[in-house]
Chain A
């Protein structure tokens, strides 16, 4: 650690040797301002223009509030499911060698690579009453397509990779010593997992679940095909924005969008702060 520090100190820290600061930073700032920040001003102006009373009336409308609830619950259930499934996938991919492991590893990213509209129509077809899965589920009295469960399914599908890809690297770097010590002392697999491995994994697991949740809140393409979009029952908030737009009610669309935008920005900042903190703790220990 000490030698590493002194090596870093001798590096010309304050003398900038490398070229391109003004070019690269200038381009980045211009790009971010034009692409990201400028468009947000439109939303702020539109929301301010409409006045507080109207704003509140739109965002607290009964149908819109129902959509918040559906979206939040579905995203929560989907990300919890992905917490389990993602942890399982990461574990199997890192710990075991078996034929087809590489294919499985590649397949995990399918939900990111597959356009959401394609995922949407495929899931809707599979889980519809006469679909491959729908028929089986129908016979035991479960309906998924065109119910809120369809929303959970679509959200879970589109965010499968998050937990796997955050947990996998941590699991790979886990040092075997503590685990071996526990096993040698005769502790059972389960108790070593619970007391040694899980505590090391859970920050990454939580980050993955949070990312999966954020993505699910905003998911649109995959959801609308399978949700059935019944008012008060299976409408997601993104769809409410879309519906307002189709009625050319820009103020209403902006008001609802501002709520969604704020929620996702708060989540993003929280995840970033949380990640920075646990990364620092991780590096502080080693």
Chain B
């Protein structure tokens, strides 16, 4: 098909466009995706309901499970705003100014993604645990951070801190600083500038960064399990609770808790798809406007 086309259709000559190749590649990809991603997703819910709907809801309403859900929400509610502020500050400083060490700062920001979560947890335990040089001082003041909820929040902040900045930096770099410079020359104050000019431009990337931060904050396991101490009904987050139930041979209950986390994951994917669709649409509208102007 590809080598016998009319000259007018030559732009369609592209690799892999013959129906055979196309069908084969799509089919194989879908097959692998179903096996590797779709079936596991279905299995979570199937396993959660394997002992019936009554068991499912009863296990979710257990006091320890409810406590784990509550703690997880608190951790996310504290982590997200902290990293939102940090992410915006960092993105603003590295995209709006030139200063020595800018690149190093951006690489440092990536460290939490490269470091194993267990190592991240250990770093905090060594410093703030009762034997650490800050921890021992805190111990004398009767302040306990590790094996308590503040420690969980601290490691979660560490693990999730790059998300917002990573979404913002490429976008803000691409948009340049002209709009903002114009606003300043016209007399906008710092806060006006941010609210009226910057924020509308970065809104969707910011929301996306927040969604990713939230998803990871809710689901973090390795780092949290090092600093939590796994005290049931006290320092157990939902992912740790899943592990506890699973290792207690309460598989259905573990999957019931897991199904809540899976629903948050699905919601995350849905919001992400929605945001991408919005961005694509606004890009199309802009392109359309530009075309009308040039005509």
Q: Do A and B bind each other?
A: yes
CB-based nearest B residue for A109: B269
Is B55 engaged at the interface, CB distance under 8 Å to the other chain? Answer: no
Is A52 engaged at the interface, CB distance under 8 Å to the other chain? Answer: no
Smallest beta-carbon distance A170→chain B, Å: 14
Alpha-carbon distance A85/B25, docked complex (angstroms): 11
The residues of B that contact A126 with a CB separation of less than 8 Å are: 39-40, 43
Which of these binds chain B: A58-66, A141-149, A254-262?
A254-262
Interface pair A104/B89, CB less than 8 Å apart: no
Smallest beta-carbon distance A97→chain B, Å: 10
A197-236 near B? 1/0 per residue, CB < 8 Å: 1000000000000000011011111000100000000000
The residues of B that contact A118 with a CB separation of less than 8 Å are: 44, 219, 239, 242, 258, 261-262, 265
Is A113 engaged at the interface, CB distance under 8 Å to the other chain? Answer: yes
Alpha-carbon distance A112/B272, docked complex (angstroms): 12
Interface range, B side: 35 or more
The residues of B that contact A105 with a CB separation of less than 8 Å are: 273
Smallest beta-carbon distance A251→chain B, Å: 10
Say whether, besides A16-B97, A113-B265, A242-B226, A183 and B26 are in contact (CB < 8 Å): no
The residues of A that contact B110 with a CB separation of less than 8 Å are: 268, 272
Contact of B157 among A35, A43, A269 (CB under 8 A): A35
Interface pair A220/B97, CB less than 8 Å apart: no
Alpha-carbon distance A193/B15, docked complex (angstroms): 7
Say whether, besides A18-B96, A19-B193, A253-B122, A110 and B180 are in contact (CB < 8 Å): no
Q: How many residues on chain A are close to B (CB under 8 Å)?
A: 99
Say whether, besides A39-B127, A89-B29, A265 and B114 are in contact (CB < 8 Å): yes
Alpha-carbon distance A183/B255, docked complex (angstroms): 52
Alpha-carbon distance A186/B122, docked complex (angstroms): 59
Interface pair A98/B114, CB less than 8 Å apart: no
The residues of A that contact B41 with a CB separation of less than 8 Å are: 110, 114
Is B152 engaged at the interface, CB distance under 8 Å to the other chain? Answer: no
CB-based nearest A residue for B18: A189
Say whether, besides A218-B119, A221-B117, A23 and B220 are in contact (CB < 8 Å): no
Say whether, besides A21-B97, A121-B255, A245-B122, A114 and B261 are in contact (CB < 8 Å): yes
Interface pair A91/B25, CB less than 8 Å apart: yes
Within 8 A of B (CB), among A163-200: 176, 179-180, 183-184, 186, 189, 192-193, 197
Interface pair A107/B38, CB less than 8 Å apart: yes
Alpha-carbon distance A107/B269, docked complex (angstroms): 7
Interface pair B221/A106, CB less than 8 Å apart: no
The residues of A that contact B54 with a CB separation of less than 8 Å are: none
Interface pair A36/B112, CB less than 8 Å apart: yes
Interface pair B114/A121, CB less than 8 Å apart: no
Say whether, besides A110-B265, A118-B239, A220 and B116 are in contact (CB < 8 Å): yes
Alpha-carbon distance A39/B215, docked complex (angstroms): 24
B214-238 near A? 1/0 per residue, CB < 8 Å: 0100111110011000000000000
Is A6 engaged at the interface, CB distance under 8 Å to the other chain? Answer: no
Smallest beta-carbon distance A187→chain B, Å: 9
CB-based nearest A residue for B22: A96
Contact of B184 among A19, A106, A176, A219 (CB under 8 A): A19
CB-based nearest A residue for B97: A21
Interface pair A41/B127, CB less than 8 Å apart: yes
Smallest beta-carbon distance B179→chain A, Å: 11
A73-109 near B? 1/0 per residue, CB < 8 Å: 0000000000001001101100110101010111111
Alpha-carbon distance A29/B99, docked complex (angstroms): 13
Interface pair A27/B127, CB less than 8 Å apart: no
Interface pair B184/A241, CB less than 8 Å apart: no
Interface pair A39/B115, CB less than 8 Å apart: no
Alpha-carbon distance A92/B26, docked complex (angstroms): 6
The residues of A that contact B205 with a CB separation of less than 8 Å are: none
CB-based nearest A residue for B2: A183
* Highest count of chain B CB atoms <10 Å: which of A41, A43, A114, A265: A114
Alpha-carbon distance A64/B177, docked complex (angstroms): 51
Say whether, besides A115-B221, A116-B222, A96 and B26 are in contact (CB < 8 Å): yes
Other A-B contacts than A17-B185, A20-B96, A250-B131, 7 sampled, CB-CB below 8 A, are A21-B93, A21-B97, A23-B89, A116-B221, A118-B261, A132-B43, A189-B15
Which residues does B use to contact A, with CB under 8 Å? 2-3, 10-11, 13-18, 21-22, 25-26, 28-30, 32-33, 36-41, 43-44, 47, 85-86, 89-90, 92-94, 96-99, 105, 107-119, 122-127, 131-133, 157-158, 161, 177-178, 180-181, 184-185, 190, 193, 212, 215, 218-222, 225-226, 239-240, 242-243, 246, 251, 254-255, 258, 261-262, 264-266, 268-270, 272-273
Which residues does A use to contact B, with CB under 8 Å? 11-13, 16-21, 23-25, 27-29, 31-32, 35-43, 45-46, 85, 88-89, 91-92, 95-96, 98, 100, 102, 104-119, 121-123, 125-126, 132-133, 156-157, 160, 176, 179-180, 183-184, 186, 189, 192-193, 197, 214-215, 217-221, 225, 238-239, 241-242, 245, 250, 253-254, 257, 260-261, 264-265, 267-269, 272
10 pairs, CB–CB < 8 Å, chain A vs chain B: A18-B184, A31-B161, A45-B126, A96-B22, A109-B268, A114-B41, A132-B43, A179-B15, A238-B117, A265-B111
